[in-house]
Structure 1
Amino acid sequence: MKRLIIAALAASTIFSQPAYAELSSSDESQILKTVNSDAKPIEDTALAIWGFAELGYKETKSSGLLQEKLKAAGFTVTPGIAGEPTAFLASFKNGDGPVIALLAEFDALPGLSQKAGVGTQESLGGISGHGCGHNLFGTASTYAGIAVKEWMKANNVKGEVRVYGTPAEEGGSGKAFMVRDGYFDDVDIAVHWHPGNVNSASQGPTLANISGKFRFHGVSAHAAGNPDKGRSALDGVEAMDDMVNMLREHVPDKTRIHYVITDGGKAPNVVPNFAEVYYYVRHQDPEIVRNVMAWVKQAAQGAAMGTQTTVDFEQTGGVYSMMPNETLMHVMDSNLHKVGGITWTDEEKAFGAEIQKSFGRSAPSLDTVGEVQEAQLYDEAEGGSTDVSDISWVVPTVGLSTATFVPGSPGHSWQNVAASGSSVGVKGAMIAAKTLALTTAELFRSPDVIAEAKEELKSRVGPDFEYSALVGDRAPPLDYRDSK
């Protein structure tokens, strides 16, 4: 697998900007007019989902709202695909032609309750918040799909546009189960985006990731009266963590291992009979992730033996590294430049300045939100993981980011929650919706580009590649956000 990835990245020098059929000015005008006419529904939908702030696989209201919008627009909607109650597949088909999928996320993050549009940390008293902007993500993709559908219908463009409602991106690997179960087998191109600090169609790999929960079981006893009768499940967790911290020296470079103790007992004077620790293992090479997680599992078994406890493991997620597509990058970049950057009002600039004060460090100029960066193809992963990656190994996939957050904001932060629930976030979502719609429409007009993108993907993954889901054969972990 490592050699495969090196070869795939080396292939990045092979693919130049393709010759594609740009949309006519009439096509562009029609699509942009549709998105602009939906500006108020886009804002209302994005802010409603921001208010729901539902965690992975629990996004009942968020998913339901997007499904309602798509049904009203004439899509056929199939809910609950891949064993995920909040997932859906929405389709508009107009005869035979390319099948292009837009991806829509909508899950929030735990522990990030925050008021919208304020530059100081002020909790709303909730348990979660949209620190990754998925309220914007799902909304923009949905309305981009609606704009493309209207354009296809008006111009009798053949093919099928789909919007996939994809829950639990944040650690639940929702899309990986969809890929494993064949829901992308007949898709020609997948298009997505993500909220960010800049406007860019640059492409590059992410980190593959396997996540799971280790649950230790011991024997309760009075911690002072008869501790010899007890066997501490927390000791098992701590012994495991110690061993994992020692093995860090001996794993391949750029491996990332994270953990958090999610249950360490209830009272100091009781030997805990249950404890749980939640682990992530990441690397750009999926095979290294498999191997390191196998070692972590061995550490868990050793810790259980040494503390006379038992341990069981539940894998909650597993995603590949992103496979970039240079052919599609050029199409997305061209359309992002057509749409352009973002203009903030004086009030929005004041909000941005307040947010930047909270960083305690220097930050990029607020003016960068009005710029569109030149697209670049990167070889090295930046550090995050996404279940979009699984799609990218089986379907040519392309994405972009737009400036929905204040420049310099850290990921998964209260600052991002404040922005994603404000006009700052909505303006970024509008840029995304327009760019996604134009790119999707252009690909419907460009069968040669679709064919070239497919050839590029084949070259990158290699002739012998067969997709094998890192999530294995388990069912989606619908309760992964629950404490056991």
Structure 2
Amino acid sequence: MRIFFLLLAACLSVTSLFAQDTTLKTRAMGDIQSRYDDYKKIALQIWDYAEVGYKEVKSSALLQKTLTDNGFNVQAGVADIPTAFVASYGSGSPVIGILAEFDALPGLAQQAVPEKTPIEGKAAGHGCGHHLFGTASVAAGIEIKKLIAEKKLTGTIRVYGCPAEEGGSGKVYMVRAGLFNDVDVVIHWHPGAENAVTLTSALANKSAKFRFHGLSAHAAAAPDKGRSALDGVEAMDYMVNMMREHIPQETRIHYVITNGGKAPNVVPDFAEVYYYVRHPKKEEVMRIFDWVVQAAEGAAMGTQTKVDYEVIGGTHDLLLNRTLAETMQQNLLRVGGVSYTPAEIEFARKIQTSFTYKVKAIESVGAVEPLKESQDAGGGSTDVGDVSYTVPTVGLVAATWVAGTPAHSWQAVACGGTEIGTKGMMVAAKTMTLTAIDCFTNPTLVTAAKEEFKKDKGDYQYKALLGDRKPALNYRD
């Protein structure tokens, strides 16, 4: 009989905790929704700022002020990055971190209309939706802070302001500075064209700017007196392109000539080319990058120029955590997808006419994709990978763009400046908040996530792929 009552008491305790969590989650979703207009205003302000990596002065300041006004202690300028910050509230364990990004992309200024319409006088645009990313993460942090302040939860919530995800590897420097060393779980998200929890890794990446130095001369009167730095760049590019036949097919190498000289009749004494090397395995990235360096050195030798290079960024692949992903999936299902008004459907249809490929139905953004693990590393890279090799990490994608919209496109910028983007942003804010509540109220979940993390990481000792260089604060110049 005693055992019966003990089991009954345990069941009642679990039921009570479940009911409490359900109440907290219901309230949290309502609170976030009640501030829809506030968060929309913040996101659109950052969309308008459209500041590129490490230049996000106004965007970072706005998010910092929002957090400070809501009771957070904000430490700015961390990891030798003026626009990076850590906002904290609470004390003790668990420590739950939420990542916030806010950098834009060069060359993508676009009005919030369904036709390609650049914004006069502007160069950058939020083609990856980081204005939504940062705002949703701040919203989730603020909601958790409220629950801690009311003693509904115990522990510490941190919002990490992470600059320059787009090629600048901002989080790598934050990891290297030890800012995640005492964190139990990290939560993040990304704008997209569907609602899904991330169980697909990312490509490891290493990037650098190769700078060739030659001798100027009159290209017609004295070409023999010159040594063309542009020849060095072109010779390097040719050799790297021949490499493609002999490297693993999953590899991605891309480049842009950032400086090719100033006038055709002047032999250029300086030229620069910016390279990315990607592969699902970080070890392969390092090997292939070294081969690219050899191509640069050979090109310099063959053109009688000199070359040096500056490593700009380097990111790990994404270490997945199924334990946390399964929990986040349940929360995403609870939150659900988005629905469009008739005017938004018309906008979406016009956007989809600009695509040259088959896309999902507009209504698909109202659904939640099933949780599925993929061996494909996907087509992109993220500095979240470095965080994931430091602490158990989980993320989702929310439908902030019309179905079929690719990242880094004018269509993504356009959607991000409308209610379509804001609605998806709120899905992400709510889902991250509910997942954080689970981490605070269920120690077993955090323990299981840590055990999976330890097992999957194995003996690997984290080391930044970009070495010990300081943040490349001017990489967008």
Task: Specify the TM-score bucket, using the shorter chain as the normaliser.
Answer: over 0.9
1:470 aligns with 2:459: no
SS of the residue 1:100 aligns to: strand
SS of the residue 1:124 aligns to: coil
**d(CA) in 2 for partners of 1:149 and 1:354?**
41
Partner of 1:338: 334
Partner of 1:399: 395
Among 336, 345, 352, which residue is 1:349 paired with? Answer: 345
SS of the residue 2:168 aligns to: coil
Partner of 1:273: 269
% same residue: 54
Calculate the aligned-residue CA RMSD, in Å. 1.2
Residues 233, 274 of structure 1: 8 Å contact kept = yes
**d(CA) in 1 for partners of 2:467 and 2:350?**
45
Structure 1 residue 36: deviation in Å? 1.4
Aligned residues: 461
Q: Bigger shift: 204-213 or 372-381? A: 372-381
Partner of 1:290: 286
SS of the residue 1:204 aligns to: coil
Among 197, 201, 204, which residue is 2:200 paired with? Answer: 204
Matches within 5 A, 1:30-41: 30-41=27-38
SS of the residue 2:150 aligns to: helix
1:122 aligns with 2:117: yes
User: What letter corresponds to residue 258 of structure 1 in structure 2?
Assistant: H
1:67 aligns with 2:64: yes
1:46 aligns with 2:16: no
SS of the residue 1:331 aligns to: helix
Structure 1 residue 399: deviation in Å? 0.2
Partner of 2:356: 360
Structure 1 residue 156: deviation in Å? 4.2
Partner of 1:388: 384
1:29 aligns with 2:26: yes
**d(CA) in 2 for partners of 1:420 and 1:300?**
39
SS of the residue 1:400 aligns to: strand
Among 154, 160, 163, which residue is 2:159 paired with? Answer: 163
Residues 200, 375 of structure 1: 8 Å contact kept = yes
Residues 202, 374 of structure 1: 8 Å contact kept = no
Tell me the alpha carbon deviations over residues 428-448 of structure 1, each in whole angstroms, 9 at most, x when there is no partner. 001110111111011100111
Partner of 1:82: 79
**d(CA) in 1 for partners of 2:308 and 2:45?**
39
Partner of 1:254: 250
1:133 aligns with 2:116: no
Residues 21, 441 of structure 2: 8 Å contact kept = no
Residues 30, 151 of structure 1: 8 Å contact kept = no
- Point out the structure with max Rg over C-alpha: 2
Residues 137, 429 of structure 2: 8 Å contact kept = yes
Matches within 5 A, 1:394-473: 394-462=390-458, 464-473=459-468
User: What letter corresponds to residue 378 of structure 1 in structure 2?
Assistant: S
Partner of 1:4: none
Among 210, 216, 228, which residue is 2:212 paired with? Answer: 216
Tell me the alpha carbon deviations over residues 402-422 of structure 1, each in whole angstroms, 9 at most, x when there is no partner. 110010112200000000011
1:239 aligns with 2:241: no
Structure 1 residue 124: deviation in Å? 0.5
5+ residue gaps, structure 1, are: 1-18
Residues 49, 58 of structure 2: 8 Å contact kept = yes
Structure 1 residue 241: deviation in Å? 0.6
SS of the residue 2:179 aligns to: coil
Structure 1 segments of 4 or more deviating over 4 A?
A: 19-23
Tell me the alpha carbon deviations over residues 38-76 of structure 1, each in whole angstroms, 9 at most, x when there is no partner. 111110000000000000000000000000000000000
**d(CA) in 2 for partners of 1:367 and 1:156?**
37
Tell me the alpha carbon deviations over residues 132-158 of structure 1, each in whole angstroms, 9 at most, x when there is no partner. 000000000001100011012223422
**d(CA) in 2 for partners of 1:252 and 1:338?**
41
SS of the residue 1:193 aligns to: strand
TM-score (structure 2 length as normaliser):
0.95
5+ residue gaps, structure 2, are: 1-13
**d(CA) in 2 for partners of 1:470 and 1:360?**
37
**d(CA) in 2 for partners of 1:279 and 1:202?**
27
**d(CA) in 2 for partners of 1:272 and 1:348?**
51
Residues 21, 437 of structure 2: 8 Å contact kept = no
Partner of 1:10: none
User: What letter corresponds to residue 69 of structure 1 in structure 2?
Assistant: T
TM-score (structure 1 length as normaliser):
0.94
Structure 1 residue 360: deviation in Å? 2.8
**d(CA) in 1 for partners of 2:60 and 2:326?**
31
Structure 1 residue 247: deviation in Å? 1.3
SS of the residue 2:274 aligns to: strand
Residues 195, 369 of structure 2: 8 Å contact kept = yes
1:318 aligns with 2:281: no
Partner of 1:13: none
SS of the residue 1:24 aligns to: helix
Residues 77, 90 of structure 1: 8 Å contact kept = yes
SS of the residue 1:318 aligns to: strand
User: What letter corresponds to residue 480 of structure 1 in structure 2?
Assistant: Y
Tell me the alpha carbon deviations over residues 250-309 of structure 1, each in whole angstroms, 9 at most, x when there is no partner. 112311110111110011100000000000000010010001101100111111111111
